[in-house]
A = this chain, B = another copy of it.
Amino acid sequence: MAAPKPGKRVRGSATGRPIMALLDLLGRRMALRILWELRDGPLNFRALQEAAATNPSVLNARLAELREARLVEHGPDGYALTPLGQSLLATLLPLHAWAEDWAKALGRRRLG
């Protein structure tokens, strides 16, 4: 499937508004995860496949979309975040802390 980009029609929205294109792009399997796994530096195809616990077909599809979206690029050390991708990851980093709080909030009634 074509990579969602601002200005283009995307799944779930014909307006092409950037936020909708972004939500479509990130709402695909392993898209968020791939960005996440690249947070500490480049990984090659197979290392990324292992880190994200996925298969080459999905990984390759997501990489193509993320590269088209200019969030990821392929360099000498493997796949890496572009400056744009790094800035997106920076806005997503608070998710990590949030997820920990979420686990605690659920745990108070589910895990004891």
The 8 A CB mask of A28-55 against B (1 = contact, 0 = none) is 1111110010000000000000001110
Measured between beta carbons, the chain B residues less than 8 angstroms from A57 are none
> In the complex this chain forms, how many copies of it are found?
2
Q: For chain A, give the interface size range.
A: 35 or more
User: Contact at A106–B12, with CB atoms within 8 Å?
Assistant: no
* A5 vs B70: C-alpha distance when bound (angstroms): 31
Report whether A105 and B26 are in contact in the complex, using a CB–CB cutoff of 8 Å: no
Given contacts A7-B111, A12-B54, A27-B27, is CB(A102)–CB(B32) below 8 Å? no
In the complex, which of the residues B7, B18, B99 contacts A22, with contact meaning CB atoms closer than 8 Å?
A: B99
Q: Are B111 and A88 interface neighbours, CB within 8 A? A: no
Can you list 30 residue pairs at the A/B interface with Cβ under 8 Å? A5-B106, A6-B102, A6-B103, A7-B106, A7-B107, A7-B110, A11-B29, A12-B29, A13-B53, A14-B53, A17-B99, A18-B102, A19-B36, A19-B95, A19-B99, A21-B99, A22-B102, A23-B32, A23-B36, A26-B32, A27-B30, A27-B31, A27-B32, A70-B105, A70-B106, A84-B102, A84-B105, A88-B102, A91-B95, A92-B95
